[in-house]
Amino acid sequence: MRIIIVENYEEMSKKAAAMMASQIILKPESVLGLATGDTPLGMYKELIRMYNENMIDFSKVKTFNLDEYYGLGKDSNQSYNYYMTNNLFKHINIDKENINIPNGMVKNIEEECISYEKRIKEAGGIDIQVLGIGVNGHIGFNEPDVNFEAETHLVNLDEKTIESNSRFFKCIEEVPTKAISMGIKTIMHSKKIVLLANGASKADAIAKTVNGKISPEVPASILQLHQDVAIIVDKEAASKL
Ligand code: GLP
């Protein structure tokens, strides 16, 4: 693991965007694994800026998002599909055909999960996966007591996650209790991983991820076994390292 401690959110976002941009410049047909949440918003803004300044071209890029709430469609403004469209995709020249996000509205979840894995494999695997981290150490929506062997699957959200994500909804009752998420196995098969975290609320999760025992109780701790992970954290998130 390479730990990169930066001054603040802006620096974290710029460093992460620079890594993504160099991946796209080196390999224009890169397969990007993308994340949602507040953490990567600054990175997306920076990537849009680089695109507007003709520094990067997304026309051949393929993307796979980590997760989606079960039961929320792309028109719901809380869905991750809506988030991705508004915070990145509508601002860049990505081909819609190359965008992949789990479909939270399908009847046959199992089929959707199998097809998602198949699409990732057919694309040649994920070249670089961006991750945020939950306060309980989750990555994607792989909650504590995770099965490290799982691929894309339906998950039950942890109480802490529901509480923490309720800030995006009108009330806690509106937060879906399930989601479709890439599994740990899917994430671990990415060629490179960049995990971003900022703020004091993430300090515990980061300390356990980096220095703790590798355990299903802290899903992100498995990243210690990945051969190419960069963790970019601001001073506050690094305060317990
Ligand atoms: C959600 C997402 C994760 C994300 C996490 C942290 O639960 N499924 O992918 O990393 O929240 O979110 P934030 O970046 O808003 O702190």
Report how far residue 55's alpha carbon sits from residue 51's, in angstroms, rounded to the nearest whole number: 6
What would the two tokens of residue 165 be? 């994500």
**72-118: pLDDT as tens digits:** 988 899 999 999 999 999 999 999 999 999 999 999 999 999 999 99
Tell me the pTM: 0.96
* Amino acid present at 62: K
Whether 67 sits among the annotated catalytic residues: the reply is: yes
Report how far residue 57's alpha carbon sits from residue 29's, in angstroms, rounded to the nearest whole number: 10
**126-174: pLDDT as tens digits:** 999 999 999 999 999 999 999 999 999 999 998 988 998 899 899 999 9
DSSP 142: B
For residue 109, give the H/E element and its range: helix 109-122
Where do the domains of the chain lie, and which CATH numbers do they carry?
2-234 (3.40.50.1360)
pLDDT computed for residue 31 by the predictor: 98
- Residue 56: pLDDT over 90: yes
Computed from CA positions of residues 134, 138, 141, 144, in that sequence, does the dihedral angle turn out positive or negative?
A: negative
Q: Which residues line ligand 1 (CB under 6 A)?
A: 35-39, 66-67, 132-134, 140-141, 161, 165
Name the residue of 138, 194, 218 whose CB sits within 8 Å of the most ligand 1 atoms, as the mutation to test its pocket.
138
Q: What is the per-residue DSSP string for 176-228?
A: -SEEEE--HHHHHTSSEEEEEE-SGGGHHHHHHHHHS---TTSGGGGGGG-SS
pLDDT computed for residue 142 by the predictor: 95
Computed from CA positions of residues 193, 215, 116, 101, in that sequence, does the dihedral angle turn out positive or negative?
A: negative
